[in-house]
Structure 1
C-alpha cells in the first residue's frame, strides 16, 4: 500500500493537470494504488474543501470463492471430461476416485447437460472429442470487468459462482480551497506562536459543534453482583423467599436484644459497632414483645437462667448500622410468629452489613452477608447439616466438615469448612446453628417449632472465584474499572 502522502500528492497533481478524475476506481487501477486508500484520502480532502467529490455507485458482478477457484483452475466438468480417455472410456468407480464426491456430482450434472459424456452405471465415455471450458472463460471475463449475456449471468448465478455487489467510488474535481499541498491547521494556540510571530499566518481548525461525542460504553456487572445473583438463584431453586433488607439502620433491640445477645457483649461496644449520632435512638418498639425479651435476659425461661443482670431499655433503643442481616431475620421471624395457624417458611437475604473493623487485605468496614433460615416443626441439627450439604453442593463445594462453636443466639452452633483443592487445605466458609429457645419463644412460636440458620460472606467466595487476594481490589474506591469490564461470567457448581 502506497504511503498516504504519496497518494494524496498524486490525486492533487492529477487535478492540477486534468481538472477532474472521473472515476476513482480507474485512477487507482491505472496508478497501482489501493482503491480503499484513495477513497479515504478523497473524503479527507473533501472535508477540507481542497477537492469536490461526488459519490459514484454501481452494481457489479463479482466471483464467489467457488467461482474464483474455477476461474483459476478450470471448471469441474472440464476436468471430468479430460479424465475420460478419448478411446474406450473409463470405469465409473475408477473415475470417482479421482474426484471429491461433491465435485464429482457437480461435474457429472454439468457434463451431462452439455452432452459431453455418456455416464453409465459401470462405464463413462466421451460423446465428443474436444470441448471448451466456457464456464472458466465467462468467469475470467467477469473478473476483468467485461460484459456477458444475461443468459450466461443467470446460469453462473444459479451455480452460485457469481454474486451481485455494490461498488462505490468518487468523481473528483477541484474544490474552493484547492492547492497542491494541504495546509496544516492548528487546533491549539500556544505561547510559542505568539513569541515567534507565527500567529499572523496560522490557519486554525474549526470546531465542529455538531459532531457526536463517543458513544458511552455499555454497563458492566460487578463480580459481586454476578456471584450474588447466582447464589440468589440457588436459594430460590431450594424454595426460599427473599427477605426485605433495605433498612441499613437498626435499633440495638432488633440487632442484639431480640437475638438474646447480652447488653454487656463485646460486639455491642463502639470499637466493633457503628452507633448513630442522629437519630441516636429509635422511636418505637413492640412493647409486649420487649417485656418478654427483657424478662428472658434478666431471669431466663424456657429452661434457661438468662444472664442475671438488669436489662436497660435505653441500651436497646440505640440506633446502629446493622452488624449482620440476622437483625432482619429477627423481624421476619417475629412477624411469622404472630400468624395463626403457624406455617413453615424458608427465608434468605443477601445484603450489606457494617462493622467497625480495621481495614486490611481481608477486612472492610462494609461487606455483604448471605443468610438462610428455615423455620418448621421438629427441625434438628441433622436437618441443618443436610440442608447445608445441599446448599453448598450447588455452589460447587461438596466436601464439607463441621466444627462445634459458640454463638450468642444459636445452640448448638457449627462452623462450616470446605476443602480447597487449590490451597490444599480446609477453609472456613460459614457459620450455622439452631436458634435458641430464649430467642424464639418470646416471639410467640409454639414449643415444637425450631429454626435452623447459616450465614457466610459474599466477598470471600467471590475473591476465590476471581482469584483476587485483596478485598480492596474488589470493593470500594480503589477498584480497577478495567476489572469490572473484563470479569468473566460467574459459574458456580450447579
Structure 2
C-alpha cells in the first residue's frame, strides 16, 4: 500500500491501543499540526484510523486581570480609600477619595461603575459613602482572580467558580475563554494489517508550480488530494457597529416621516446648551459635577447680542404679562463658558433662533442623531457619552396628542408598540412627559426619552411665534428594547462584548 509521506508518518506514530492527540502526533512526526490534521482526515476516509473529537474550554486571566489579582480590583481600592477617609460615617468628596486611592485614567471609571453594584456604598452629587458592613474579602470576582492567577490556562471544569462570576469577569475584560477542538487518533485493524504487509511512501505533489507546467512533469506526478474539511484559521472581518447601524436606521425612519437632519458643534457655549432653554444659571445640572467644561479655550468669542439680551430678559423678568422669570443671577460670562454638550437640544436652539441656517418657516420638522456627554455615574443604563435622538416639530396648534402619535409611529417602525407616558417637569417644556418601554428580557419598564411642548419663555426670545413640540430619546435604550441587551456597556465602551457585536444582526 502506498500513502503520502505525511500519512505514513502519522500511521507509524499512532497506536492501536491508546488514543494519541494530533498535537502529540505533530511532536512525534515533527510535522506542523495542520499537516497532521489533514493527514488524519485523509486516513480516516481510507479507514486506517478512528478519530475522536471533543471540545475543551479553558479560561485564563488577561493582563489587566493579572494586574488586579496583584493589586486588588479598582472598586476595592476605592472602598478602602473611602473607609480611610471616614466615608462610612459621613459623605466625603469623591475627588478626595479618588486621589487617595491612587486610581488613574480608565481605572477611575471602572471603580465608579462597580462600586455601587457590589454594595460597597453609594455615589451621589459628587460625594461618596462607604457601607461599613461591606466585606472585600468576600468579593467573588476578586477571589476568582486570586484563584486563577497561578496558571496560564485552566480547564473550566477544574475551577470552583460560579458561572455568573466568570461571565462578569469576561464582560469586564479580565478573563478570556477559549475553546479548543481536541482530536485523538487510534489505528484501526486495517491499519495494523497494512503496516504488517508494509506501507510505502508515495511521491505526491501538493500544488502546481511554474516548473511543473513548463517541463511537462505535471502529467506524470501524483497530486495530493485537497481536503476541504481540514481546519483553517478563522479571520474576523470588520463590520459596522450595531449602534451605528441602528443610528442609520433611525435616520431613515425620521427622513421617511418628513424630517430634515440638523448638524452642529459637540463643544458649545452654555448659552446655546442651557440659557436658550430657559434653564436657570443656578440649576444643579449646570454645575461642574454634571458637565464637562473645557480647559482651553474656556469661553466662546461671539454670541448674537440681540438674542443674548432677549434671553437674559426672559430669565430675569419672564415673558408675557404673567411672566415672572427666575429672579436669579444671570451672567453673560457664565453663558459664554464652553462645555461638551449635555444634550443635542443645543442644536435645536441654534436652528430655531435662525443662527444656524437662517429663519425657518412653519411647518418644519428637524432631527439629529448625535453624541452627547454627561458626568453620570456608570451603570447598566448610563454612560458618560451616548447617542441622543433629538427632534422637534414647528407648527400651529400642536398638542400632546400630536406628540404621542409621533412617538407611536416612530417606535412602531422598530417593532415597539407598548410605549408608556409619565408626566414630568422640565424647565423648557410644559406640558412635559417621559417615555418608557418594556424590556423584552426582564419585563421591566425602561426610560427611553423625555419630551414636551417648548415653553413660551424659551420660544419668544428665539423669535418663534408658533408651537414647537420636541424630544430627546436614547439610541442605546432603543437598542435595549430591540435586542434585549440588559447592560449598554455590552455594546458601547471599553467593556463591550465583541462576540455579541459580531453575532447580532440589525433587523429592518
TM-score, length-normalised on structure 1? 0.57
SS of the counterpart of 2:221? strand
SS of the counterpart of 1:54? helix
Q: CA deviation at 1:451?
A: 0.3
- Post-superposition Cα deviations, 1:250-276, rounded to whole Å, max 9, x if no partner, equal 100000000000000011011110111
SS of the counterpart of 1:416? strand
CA distance in 1, matches of 2:499, 2:220: 42
- Post-superposition Cα deviations, 1:24-57, rounded to whole Å, max 9, x if no partner, equal xxxxxxxx999xxx9994237x99xxxx972499
SS of the counterpart of 2:297? coil
Q: CA deviation at 1:6?
A: 4.8
Question: Are the structure 2 counterparts of residues 468 and 399 from structure 1 closer, same or farther at C-alpha, using a change threshold of 3 Å?
Answer: closer
Number of matched pairs: 311
Q: CA deviation at 1:314?
A: 1.1
Partner of 2:387: 368
CA distance in 2, matches of 1:39, 1:284: 84
Structure 2 residue 312 is matched with structure 1 residue 294:
yes
Structure 2 residue 507 is matched with structure 1 residue 491:
yes
CA distance in 2, matches of 1:358, 1:425: 21
Partner of 2:205: 42
Structure 2 residue 466 is matched with structure 1 residue 466:
no
CA distance in 2, matches of 1:43, 1:484: 39
Q: CA deviation at 1:477?
A: 2.3
- 8 Å CA contact retained: 2:3, 2:202: no
Query: Larger radius of gyration, structure 1 or 2?
Result: 1
- Post-superposition Cα deviations, 1:171-217, rounded to whole Å, max 9, x if no partner, equal 38xxxxxxxxxxxxxxxxxxxxxxxxxxxxxxxxxxxxxxxxx9986
Structure 2 residue 217 is matched with structure 1 residue 54:
no
SS of the counterpart of 1:403? strand
User: 1:29-428 maps to which residues of 2 (within 5 A)?
Assistant: 41-43=204-206, 54-55=212-213, 170-171=220-221, 218-245=237-264, 247-302=265-320, 303-335=322-354, 342-428=361-447
Structure 2 residue 6 is matched with structure 1 residue 5:
yes
CA distance in 1, matches of 2:243, 2:368: 15
Task: Structure 2 unaligned segments of length 5 or more: list them.
Answer: 11-45, 49-200, 223-232
CA distance in 2, matches of 1:270, 1:262: 15
TM-score, length-normalised on structure 2? 0.55
CA distance in 1, matches of 2:473, 2:415: 15
CA distance in 2, matches of 1:376, 1:337: 19
- 8 Å CA contact retained: 2:5, 2:203: no
CA distance in 1, matches of 2:370, 2:358: 26
Question: Are the structure 2 counterparts of residues 244 and 480 from structure 1 closer, same or farther at C-alpha, using a change threshold of 3 Å?
Answer: same
CA distance in 2, matches of 1:470, 1:6: 51
Partner of 1:476: 493
Q: CA deviation at 1:475?
A: 1.1
Task: Structure 1 unaligned segments of length 5 or more: list them.
Answer: 10-31, 59-167, 173-213
Question: Are the structure 2 counterparts of residues 41 and 373 from structure 1 closer, same or farther at C-alpha, using a change threshold of 3 Å?
Answer: farther
- 8 Å CA contact retained: 2:374, 2:384: yes
CA distance in 1, matches of 2:359, 2:340: 32
CA distance in 1, matches of 2:430, 2:203: 77
Q: CA deviation at 1:486?
A: 2.7
User: 1:11-30 maps to which residues of 2 (within 5 A)?
Assistant: none
CA distance in 2, matches of 1:344, 1:54: 76
Q: CA deviation at 1:229?
A: 1.3
Deviates more, 1:387-396 or 1:434-443: 387-396
Find 1:440's aligned residue among 446, 459, 463. Answer: 459
Question: Are the structure 2 counterparts of residues 344 and 54 from structure 1 closer, same or farther at C-alpha, using a change threshold of 3 Å?
Answer: same
- Post-superposition Cα deviations, 1:91-137, rounded to whole Å, max 9, x if no partner, equal xxxxxxxxxxxxxxxxxxxxxxxxxxxxxxxxxxxxxxxxxxxxxxx
- 8 Å CA contact retained: 1:345, 1:376: yes
CA distance in 1, matches of 2:422, 2:380: 26
CA distance in 1, matches of 2:278, 2:298: 22
- 8 Å CA contact retained: 1:412, 1:433: yes
CA distance in 1, matches of 2:241, 2:3: 46
- 8 Å CA contact retained: 1:348, 1:372: yes
CA distance in 2, matches of 1:436, 1:242: 23
CA distance in 2, matches of 1:42, 1:378: 82
Q: CA deviation at 1:329?
A: 0.9
Find 1:453's aligned residue among 466, 470, 486. Answer: 470
CA distance in 2, matches of 1:445, 1:479: 43
